[in-house]
Each structure stands twice: as structure tokens, then as C-alpha cells.
Structure 1
Amino acid sequence: MALARVSRGAAGRPSRLGGHAVKKKSLRVYFVEYEDGRRTGTLMRTWDTFFDRPAPSAYGATTEDVLDELESQLEERRITEQDVVERYLWEEHFETSTVKVAIFPLSSVAKRPVIGKKEIPLLLTYAHCPLAGGGHRVMVPRFGAWFVVEELSLAPHLLRHMVTTSLLGEKPRWVYDLRRVGAEYVREWSPPAITRTRPAARAAEEAPPEQLARVADDLTALATRGKLPRVVGEPALRRDVEAYSLRPRPPSLLLVGESGVGKTTLVRALAQLHAARRRGKTKDAPRIFSTSRDRIIAGMIYLGMWQERCVAIVKELSEEGDVLHVDALSGLLTVQADGASIADFLEPALASGEIRVLTECTQAELERARRTRPGFVARFEIVRVEEPSPEATVELLSHYVRHKGGIAAHAAALKRLVRHLAMLERSVAFPGKGFRFVDWLAQQAAGAGDGKAKTYYPRDVSEAYSRYSGIPTSLLSDDISAGAGELADMLRARVVGQDAACDACGRLLARFKANLVDPERPCGTLLFVGPTGVGKTELAKQLARTTFGGEDRLVRVDMSEYQLPGSARRLLEVGPGVRSLATLVRQSPLSLVLLDEIEKAHSDVFDLLLGVLGEGRMTDASGRFVDFRTTIVIMTSNVGTSEARPVGFGEAGDQEAARASAVVRSVRAHFRPELFNRIDHVLPFRSLALSDVARIVELELDAARKRPGFARRQVRLVTTDRARAKLAELGYHPTRGARPLRRVLEEKVMTPVATRMAEDPTFRDRTVVVVEDGEDAGGRAWVVRV
């Protein structure tokens, strides 16, 4: 890491990218330590220019932190040619001394700014060194000034005069900024990446090839400038990377592992190793260029353009000996509109050993690639990147938390985090999903703005993960009791008249909380069977609120739209703007999937659902797996309800049990055995009684009271018992249950109130009383009659 190399010509002016640093020269860093042990370091330079940018400066907890940041800044300036290295190189040895200076800051008299009479003493530290030709250089880095004196004894007098004059009448805060806060000293520093000799030809070679510069990132250059994320991994990973790089002719690699396991991290570790060798004695360490299929073909709109670019990339790689990293094997194999793929252009050069390629895939993608392009896959050496054990993951997360800063975590808290992630984020592997959660946690801590590092304990981690995932703490934490009965009561808060179905769902949630669900299937597969308007959809919504934190986690699919042959493919579609079942579940794997009116779907849909319900996964149109193992799948149907007795005002217990048995028999007869046997529970929904509909009226009115119009105008809605009974009677239908109720409430209650509020802007802070037609309103202010 260094600045762009320069040399001084005959006229003494710096020239870019040429020359050699004078032997034995090194950098000088001016350190200022603070009371809390932290420090700043600023590079001292031998000359300045007009409109000069500030010298590189860094702040850190240790000297090593400061030097690392300074090295990164220097490297960035060198690469971008924003500075020259010679003016930071010294042969002289500096010492520091102090001088007392008197300052007369700004004051005011009769609201006029004047030079104050109050004298403020300032202890100023300055650095000085003898010059080879005589005299002494005196520097005040914190003041941004330097001069040369014949005798060092003159320095204190000149500094008093200079600083006192410069700060005369200035605001007191300027004086405060220059106060002595701790030890100040100069340290000599010789980082090899900055001070080593580097010929101009070598610098010219670092420019990336033309086509690669357009479509790829030079990971080695980014690592040299400190722009790559720090690799957090096991020592074995680093050993494997180093062993690969030391091979005489390293082969092309195919990294196989699940998402999040660390495939890309391994490539970054290799880039950082190559960057370190290029800074050291090994000058021929190859660069690693990272790209993707989309970047390679971007902008190639005419016939033959993307093929020509591929040919140019292969030529540049073979000439330079560099390595190409492509983020996904599937991108190389994707067939373009003309029937060719990127792999077609890379394979001949791979076979002859002219180029090396690093790419990544999952095990499932590898199996598909072997079926479609076995010859291309054979050009790679396969390296399997395994997921670390839970114990190793805890150690990695502990190291990552310490590196991240701003937060701290107890070992037991990290163990609980690993448990939560293992249970609820099965589509992503460790340690990636753990690192992402720690990143989110650090952002939350930074947003708090109190500047204190919070220590997380197991309960804190459960609460934080609840906010992160949306799953209530009562289902996550072992510290909170929530039995099947209590969970069923939470469902009954919004679902009326379906106690048996709520109890079954409560038992499902209890298994979910205890982490006793089948890990290779959806968390639950339920079939709700009953006539329309009895609460099947409402129970699904309440289950989504209780389990995943809100209705937005409900993925609803109307299966009546998939009745025709071939329509099942629409469930698997992917692409920009597509909202298929596959894309919605991939975006939100913690969700409730509601397949409404499942009996109307085509038989092809049932074939597709066999894999979802049996193995918890689906293969989308692009060949990628979609994980359903953290979803709850609910299907609704009215199969068998037509043979049962029509919905009335309640049934006797034995009649209800007989009807439920008849419904289950009808369901078993209607669906294929392989589908029926994958359903955990068939839950018949009973018919609603009028008393049930009266309770639903209360729930709907409670929801209506929360509408913004009522809150903004502070209007209160009150109903009498007779009015609620009348609304229940009007909103009940023998064959449609309580479905007409919402329309009745809108017409009989909401519409009159809305009309009055729209007509009268002064209608505020009122009480609206809903009464039955003919009922005495008791002289109340404003009445709605139903």
C-alpha cells in the first residue's frame, strides 16, 4: 500500500510513477494520545503546496490501528495518483519540546467584539530536528506550521510570537482545540509497501487490462488498499488458501457449498494473500478479477458483441496470467438468445490451461451442471466448503463481534443466537447468516447514538432477534412461558366459533416454540375445510400475526387461478417484477402460505405440492431451490360441506362430530393419497351460531374504531346491545356465514358517519351512538339507527 511513485527531475519538481525513494528514508508520524488511551496519528511531510489537501491522519484505540489506517490512506492516494511519496519520506530524527504561550482570545464590550484582557496560558508541543546543511527545522503539526531557525534556542521565542499573533482575538474554541490533551511524540515508521523501491514499469503493469477493467473488480488491488472486508475464518481456511496459492500451477476451482458458508470469503482471502505477496518479495502473484454473468453481457445489444467481449477477456487473462472469479456457475452455463453461453468461450482456454477461473455453486447446482455440461465441470477442481459446527460458529461470531465494535455479547448469548438462526433461517448456512445478524445488531446500536457498547445476554439476543425476524419473543425465548392453551387463546382473540381449530393450531405453535417440528418439512401443513364465511381465512391471518408478527407475512395464492393445464408453471416463475409463489417465499421464508380453494387447482399443482409438503422445498423456473421449511402451509377448501347439513343456528355436539367425520371422509376421497398423507391435520370448521356473529360484530367495530378518520377528529363510536344484535342478524346468511357482515357494517354504520363528517368540517370531538331503529337514544347528540 503506497502512494504513486515519483521522482524529481533536474528542475526539482516531482514526476508521477517514476524514480526511487532515497535509501534509508522513512515516514514520520506525529502522535497525540488522549486520556482514554486512544490516539491520533498524522503524517509529517517535507514540503507543502498551495491549496494542499490535509496530510493523512487517523484515529484509533492502539498505535497499530492508527498505522493500519494511515497505510490504507496512503495506498489509496498512491493508486489514484492524488499525492507523491517523496514529501513524506525523511532522513532526519525528530524530538519534541514544549513552550508556554499566552493567548488573548476574543471578548466583547458593549456587544462589540474586542481583544480580551484575559490571558489564557497554552502549553504547546513542537517537533524539531537538525538539518544536514546547518540550522534546525521546527514543526508544529497541530498548528499546521513549520519554519527553519539558525539556532534551536530561538524556537520558543518565535513560537510565542507566531502563535500569540495568529490567535490574537480569535474565538476561545480555537484555543480549546489546541490545548495539550496528553503525550505528543514523533515515531519513525517504515512500512514496506510504502517505502520499498518500485520501478515505473512495475507501476504501469498494475493497470488492469481494458476489458477486465470494464466488467470486473480487481480484488487484489482492493485488498492492497484495504477496501476488502476483513476475513474472519478458521486457521484451517487460511492454511487451505495458502496451500492452494503455493502450488506450481494452481488449477481452476469450483467452490461448492450452501449460501452463506463462505465461498466468496475464501476468494477474498486468496486475493488478500496475493496482495500481500505483491507488496513483498513475490512480484508475480496473479491478480484476481471478480465479475458476474450480468456484468459480462451488460450493454451488449447487437449480434456478436458479448461473444467478442468474452474472446477479449480470455485473451487478456492468458496474456497477463491473472485469475477470473465468476460469482455463480449457473451464470456461465446460462444459454443466451443465440444458443451460446459464456462457458462455450471459456472452455477451450480452460482445457489448455491458458486461463484459470474461480466460480461458485451449491451442491444442487453442481448436480444439474453435471447433467447438462459434464465436460465443462470436469475442467475444475472441486473444493467443498463445509458449514462450520455450532461450536466453531460461536467462536467465529465471538471474533466477529469483537472486530465489529460497538457491541459485546456473552458466550451464552451467542449460543442462543446460533440456535435461533439454525431453527429459523435454514436456507442460509453458517457463518454468513450469523455475520448478517451481527451487522444488523451493530447498526441498531449505532442508531441508538449513546456511544456505549451494549453487552447482550441470552434474553437480549432473543428480544433482538424477535425485532429482526418479526417472530414474537414468546415463541423464541425459553424464558417466557407459552403453552398450547395460551397460544390457542391468542388465536381465539380474533377467531370466533372455531375452538377446535384454534386448539389444533395452538398445539402446532407449541411444537414450533419447543423446536420439535420436523426440520425437513414445513413447520406445519393444515387443511381448513368448511363453508364460506366461517373464519378459515381469518384464522390463517391470525396465525400469521401470532407466529410471524403481522399479516404482511401471509403469502396468499388463489388456486382458482390455476385450474388450466400448464398453469402450475406460473407458481415457479422468477424474474424482475414477478410475484409468484417461488419468489414470494424466497423473499420471505418466515411466512404463512395460504393456498385458497385448493380443490380447484389443476392436478399439475398437486404434483408440485408433493415436494413442498413432503420435503419442504420447490425448484423454481431457473432451477434454484426455494426453501419452505420455515413456512406454515395452510390450504382451504369446502370439499364435503355440500353433503353436510347447511349452516344454521348451531348444531348438537354429536351432530357436529358426525358432520366433521363426514367432511374428513370427503376430503380423503377427493385428494390423492400421496397428497392427503402429507397433510398434518384436516380441521373441519363448524357452522356459526347467531351468538358467534354477534361476537364478530364487536371485533369488527373495534377494528373500525381504529380507523384514522375517527382518531383525527376524535370521534367516538358507541353501540347498544340491541344495535349489535340487529347488526348480527342483518350480517348473517344461512349459506355464507358471517361474510355479508362487513358490507352491512359499512352500509349501516360507516357510510352515515362518513357522510356527516364529509359534510360538516366542525364535526369533531363527538360521540356517535349506534342504536336499533325504534330504540330510545336518550337525547344523545348524534345517533345512527340500524
Structure 2
Amino acid sequence: MTFASDRINANQETLVQQRYDMQSKERIARTSRFSFDPEKVMKHLRDHIIGQSAALDEIENMLITVKADFNASHRPLAVTLMLGPTGVGKTETVRLIAEAIHGKPDAFCRIDMNTLAQEHYAAALTGAPPGYVGSKEGNTLFDEAHLQGSFSKPGIVLFDEIEKASTEVIRGLLNVLDTGTLKLTAGTKTLDFKNCLIFMTSNIGAKEAQARLKLLSKLPKPIQKLAEFSKLDDSQITERALHKKFDPEFLNRIERILHYHAVPSEFVSTLVDLEVEKLNQRLQKQSRTVSLSEKATVFLSTGHDIRFGARGLSRRFRVLIEPQLARFIMQHPDADHIQIDFDGTRLTLQSQQIELSISHSNSLIHDITHNTKN
């Protein structure tokens, strides 16, 4: 079935491209070749990325421009750099875009730049030079299928933690950002990025920005507003660190530089709800669901360190919730819905199991209560 589905999709792409080419020749190609809906992509993003409205607005502008389909033919569709501290949703943004456009959150080519810290690692992107082992094979870290996409769907590439790569590796990307092509060192092959959305993430300046944020948080609100008005916020600190780290010729090839900020404390309860949603997605294969009481939500939200963003909250779920949930499921394998509460000292788990009686029309509800230590 997978092979048949792939063939059907390939045939549909071919028909769409032929129709588009015919309209272009007749100069009536008034519709975009791209099939994704920017509004649906943005709804998916805004449902899952919290507290980053300014950055998401720029993502929306980028997607609408790509969808309009008058992009330059000699460049990538878009080049976007996302700056900000850990756990604020930079990498998650790319995953969600891939999921909304391609149907799978891993449908993009991800290059972890922290693994390319040495100069000789440039060969991992451009291939081994002539005379070296592997030069004829043209091996590279890039996944061609994901970076090229298809006629109606753009490819997606993520250069994660770009500031941790060596200067030589970054220089090797200049042609990719400028012309949308990368010729492998051996000269045997050229990679095409012209149908590609290129994203980069960086934590550069985040440490200094968070130190400033911690200092400002101790000051009265009016002074905090004055500091923000005077351009003393974390965006300005990050911007200075960015220009100190990267050459102008590199930054000049980036279309959008987005600033992701530490998630304010008032959004923590929303992040808790998203973690519950992720947990329920993993429990779907067991036909189970989990919900939190208001007291449990408050408990998990209290004491959250905004410096660690959503990842810190995910870690709290793994440590406080998942072990107790796993123990409860092992003891009560028939539990369908599990309610998690907090009694002031510890988390408690309770299952509501519904059974239909054959001889009676009404349902019999059995409550099983199990308390575990925090």
C-alpha cells in the first residue's frame, strides 16, 4: 500500500506540474503551485507556540509570500534565522510547519551544527574533496528528498544551533543562502535548494539576555517599561552578539531575523495544557486519556523557571507525572481515563472506568483511587 500511495502521489504531482506549465505558457497561471494553506499552518503554529506572537507574525508573512508563488527563481524560497533562549519554540516551529505542510513532524532535513564545530567538518556538508576517501560517492549530511520537496510542497531544511559551527562550515553555506545551490567538492553533484524553506536557530546572546532579564525582573514595573522603551531589552543584547559572531556577508543573506523571548509566567498554565495534550497523543495507542485537575495544574505551574522554557516543563512531567502514571497503569491495566489531582502534599491518580450492563440500560461507574507519593 505504501508503494501504491507513493505512486499515486507522484502521479498527482506530475499532473499538477503539467497543468501549471501549460498555464504558464499561456500566461494564465494565476493560481499558486503550492498546495498548503498558510492560514491552516499558522493556526497549527499558534495553537502550539505560546508567547511568540511577533515571531509568528513574521512566519505568516513568509508563508503568504511563498504561497503567492512569485519567488525569485535563483534563490531559496525563504531564509529565516530564529534567535532566543532554549525551550521557547524555535525548533518546534519548524517541526510544526513540516507537520502542517507534509503531514509529518519529521519531514524536514535537520543539520545539528553543534556537531560541526571543527573546520574539517565542512566536508560533511560539501563532501570529501578529490583524492580523499569517499570523494566519488558524493556523501553529504543533507537529505535530498526533504530539502527538494515536491512541485506543490516546499522542502524544509533546519540548521540547528548555527552559532556552534566552525567559521569554515558557515562560509560553506553562503552559496546555499545566496543562489540556492551547493556544488559538492568533488564536482560530481549539485544540491538544489531553490524549492526550499531554510531555517536556522541560534541561542547566541541568550545567556547575557537572561541575566539582564533576571536583573530587570527585580525592578519596579515602570522602570522595566522604561528599559524596554530605551532598547535595553533582550532583543538588543542578542542583536549585538549576533553581529559580533557572524560576518556581514552571512547576515546579509538572511531575509528574516526573528526574536523568540522567554515565555512569560502567565503562559505557564497553557504550556502545562500542551504537555497534557502531548501525553494523551502518546497514550492513544492504549486507548487511554489523562486530565489534570485545577490544583494539579497550579502545582505543576508553580516554581517553573522561565529560563528553561517548555523543555523545563517537559522535564518536570517526565519526573513527576510519568513514573506515577506508569505505575498506576501497570496496577490498573483496564483504566481508560485517569484524573490527576494534587491534595496539597502529593499527586493522586484516580481512574473512572465505565462498564455497560447487559441487563440494565444504565451504566455502572466504578472509581478506583490510588495515591502515590510526590
> Aligned pair in 2 of structure 1 residues 679, 512: CA closer, same or farther (>3 Å)?
same
Matched residue, 2:152 = none
What SS class does the counterpart of residue 686 from structure 1 fall into? coil
| Residues 1:628 and 2:205 aligned together | no
> Aligned pair in 2 of structure 1 residues 556, 566: CA closer, same or farther (>3 Å)?
same
Candidates 167, 172, 180, aligned match of 1:608: 172
How do residues 1-20 of structure 1 correspond to structure 2 at under 5 angstroms? none
What is the Cα deviation at residue 501 of structure 1?
Answer: 0.9
> Aligned pair in 2 of structure 1 residues 617, 783: CA closer, same or farther (>3 Å)?
farther
Matched residue, 1:755 = 327
> Aligned pair in 2 of structure 1 residues 764, 751: CA closer, same or farther (>3 Å)?
same
The amino acid across from 2:369 in the alignment is W
Partners in 1 of 2:267 and 2:318 — Cα distance? 19
Candidates 238, 248, 251, aligned match of 1:676: 251
Matched residue, 1:183 = none
| Residues 1:691 and 2:266 aligned together | yes
| Residues 1:499 and 2:69 aligned together | no
| Residues 1:719 and 2:279 aligned together | no
The amino acid across from 1:612 in the alignment is V
- The answer as to whether partners of 1:768 and 1:782 remain within 8 angstroms in 2 is no
> Aligned pair in 2 of structure 1 residues 771, 538: CA closer, same or farther (>3 Å)?
same
What is the Cα deviation at residue 701 of structure 1?
Answer: 0.9
How do residues 208-287 of structure 1 correspond to structure 2 at under 5 angstroms? none
> Aligned pair in 2 of structure 1 residues 499, 653: CA closer, same or farther (>3 Å)?
farther
The amino acid across from 1:580 in the alignment is T
Partners in 2 of 1:673 and 1:777 — Cα distance? 56
Matched residue, 1:663 = 238
Candidates 46, 54, 68, aligned match of 1:514: 68
> Aligned pair in 2 of structure 1 residues 642, 743: CA closer, same or farther (>3 Å)?
closer
Partners in 2 of 1:577 and 1:718 — Cα distance? 52
> Aligned pair in 2 of structure 1 residues 778, 552: CA closer, same or farther (>3 Å)?
closer
What SS class does the counterpart of residue 581 from structure 1 fall into? coil
Partners in 1 of 2:45 and 2:22 — Cα distance? 26
How do residues 433-444 of structure 1 correspond to structure 2 at under 5 angstroms? none
Matched residue, 2:8 = none
| Residues 1:639 and 2:204 aligned together | yes
Matched residue, 1:545 = 99
Partners in 2 of 1:611 and 1:769 — Cα distance? 54
Partners in 2 of 1:413 and 1:568 — Cα distance? 38
> Aligned pair in 2 of structure 1 residues 724, 516: CA closer, same or farther (>3 Å)?
farther
If each structure's helix is expressed as a fraction of its own residues, which one has the higher value?
2
Candidates 334, 355, 367, aligned match of 1:764: 334
- The answer as to whether partners of 1:771 and 1:777 remain within 8 angstroms in 2 is yes
Partners in 1 of 2:145 and 2:291 — Cα distance? 45
> Aligned pair in 2 of structure 1 residues 778, 511: CA closer, same or farther (>3 Å)?
closer
How many residues are treated as equivalent by the alignment? 318
What CA deviation, in whole Å up to 9, does each residue of 1:122-177 have, x standing for no partner?
Answer: xxxxxxxxxxxxxxxxxxxxxxxxxxxxxxxxxxxxxxxxxxxxxxxxxxxxxxxx
What CA deviation, in whole Å up to 9, does each residue of 1:383-417 have, x standing for no partner?
Answer: xxxxxxxxxxxxxxxxxxxxxxxxx99xx977644
- The answer as to whether partners of 1:770 and 1:783 remain within 8 angstroms in 2 is no
What SS class does the counterpart of residue 518 from structure 1 fall into? coil
- The answer as to whether partners of 1:526 and 1:682 remain within 8 angstroms in 2 is yes
What is the Cα deviation at residue 669 of structure 1?
Answer: 2.8
The amino acid across from 1:626 in the alignment is L
> Aligned pair in 2 of structure 1 residues 622, 656: CA closer, same or farther (>3 Å)?
farther
> Aligned pair in 2 of structure 1 residues 418, 693: CA closer, same or farther (>3 Å)?
farther
| Residues 1:418 and 2:21 aligned together | yes
The amino acid across from 1:699 in the alignment is L
Partners in 2 of 1:534 and 1:587 — Cα distance? 25
Matched residue, 1:97 = none
Matched residue, 1:740 = 312
- The answer as to whether partners of 1:568 and 1:605 remain within 8 angstroms in 2 is yes
Partners in 2 of 1:541 and 1:719 — Cα distance? 26
Partners in 1 of 2:290 and 2:285 — Cα distance? 11
Candidates 99, 103, 121, aligned match of 1:567: 121
What is the Cα deviation at residue 784 of structure 1?
Answer: 6.1
What is the Cα deviation at residue 680 of structure 1?
Answer: 0.6
- The answer as to whether partners of 2:82 and 2:201 remain within 8 angstroms in 1 is yes
- The answer as to whether partners of 1:771 and 1:783 remain within 8 angstroms in 2 is no
- The answer as to whether partners of 1:769 and 1:783 remain within 8 angstroms in 2 is no
Partners in 2 of 1:669 and 1:419 — Cα distance? 49
What SS class does the counterpart of residue 694 from structure 1 fall into? helix
What SS class does the counterpart of residue 148 from structure 2 fall into? coil
Query: Over aligned residue pairs, what C-alpha RMSD do you find?
Result: 3.6
Partners in 1 of 2:325 and 2:138 — Cα distance? 40
> Aligned pair in 2 of structure 1 residues 507, 656: CA closer, same or farther (>3 Å)?
farther
Partners in 1 of 2:124 and 2:63 — Cα distance? 31
What is the Cα deviation at residue 519 of structure 1?
Answer: 2.3
Query: Structure 2 unaligned runs (5+)?
Result: 1-10, 129-133, 150-154, 351-366
| Residues 1:782 and 2:354 aligned together | no
What is the Cα deviation at residue 626 of structure 1?
Answer: 0.1
What is the Cα deviation at residue 603 of structure 1?
Answer: 1.1
What SS class does the counterpart of residue 311 from structure 2 fall into? coil
> Aligned pair in 2 of structure 1 residues 777, 638: CA closer, same or farther (>3 Å)?
closer
> Aligned pair in 2 of structure 1 residues 750, 577: CA closer, same or farther (>3 Å)?
farther
Matched residue, 2:141 = 581
What is the Cα deviation at residue 586 of structure 1?
Answer: 5.2
Partners in 2 of 1:705 and 1:579 — Cα distance? 40
Matched residue, 2:5 = none
Partners in 2 of 1:778 and 1:529 — Cα distance? 40
TM-score, normalised by the number of residues in structure 2: 0.73
TM-score, normalised by the number of residues in structure 1: 0.37
Considering Cα pairs closer than 8 Å and 6+ residues apart, tell me whether 1 or 2 has the greater RCO: 2
The amino acid across from 1:547 in the alignment is I
Query: Structure 1 unaligned runs (5+)?
Result: 1-407, 423-457, 466-470, 476-481
What is the Cα deviation at residue 419 of structure 1?
Answer: 7.7
What is the Cα deviation at residue 536 of structure 1?
Answer: 1.2
| Residues 1:594 and 2:154 aligned together | no
Partners in 2 of 1:690 and 1:579 — Cα distance? 46
Partners in 2 of 1:666 and 1:723 — Cα distance? 40
Partners in 2 of 1:694 and 1:744 — Cα distance? 13
- The answer as to whether partners of 2:108 and 2:147 remain within 8 angstroms in 1 is no
What SS class does the counterpart of residue 527 from structure 1 fall into? strand
What is the Cα deviation at residue 754 of structure 1?
Answer: 1.3
Partners in 2 of 1:777 and 1:551 — Cα distance? 33
Matched residue, 1:28 = none
The amino acid across from 2:69 in the alignment is N
> Aligned pair in 2 of structure 1 residues 520, 531: CA closer, same or farther (>3 Å)?
same
- The answer as to whether partners of 1:593 and 1:632 remain within 8 angstroms in 2 is yes
- The answer as to whether partners of 1:616 and 1:627 remain within 8 angstroms in 2 is yes
Tell which structure's C-alpha radius of gyration is larger. 1
> Aligned pair in 2 of structure 1 residues 644, 550: CA closer, same or farther (>3 Å)?
same
The amino acid across from 1:676 in the alignment is L
What is the Cα deviation at residue 706 of structure 1?
Answer: 1.9
- The answer as to whether partners of 2:110 and 2:160 remain within 8 angstroms in 1 is yes
What is the Cα deviation at residue 506 of structure 1?
Answer: 0.8
What is the Cα deviation at residue 601 of structure 1?
Answer: 1.1
Matched residue, 1:555 = 109
What CA deviation, in whole Å up to 9, does each residue of 1:533-592 have, x standing for no partner?
Answer: 11111112112223333222221111111111211111123879997333x135641232
What SS class does the counterpart of residue 201 from structure 2 fall into? strand
Matched residue, 2:354 = none
Partners in 2 of 1:742 and 1:600 — Cα distance? 25
> Aligned pair in 2 of structure 1 residues 764, 602: CA closer, same or farther (>3 Å)?
same
What SS class does the counterpart of residue 768 from structure 1 fall into? strand
- The answer as to whether partners of 1:556 and 1:594 remain within 8 angstroms in 2 is yes
What SS class does the counterpart of residue 634 from structure 1 fall into? strand
What is the Cα deviation at residue 673 of structure 1?
Answer: 0.6
> Aligned pair in 2 of structure 1 residues 593, 414: CA closer, same or farther (>3 Å)?
closer
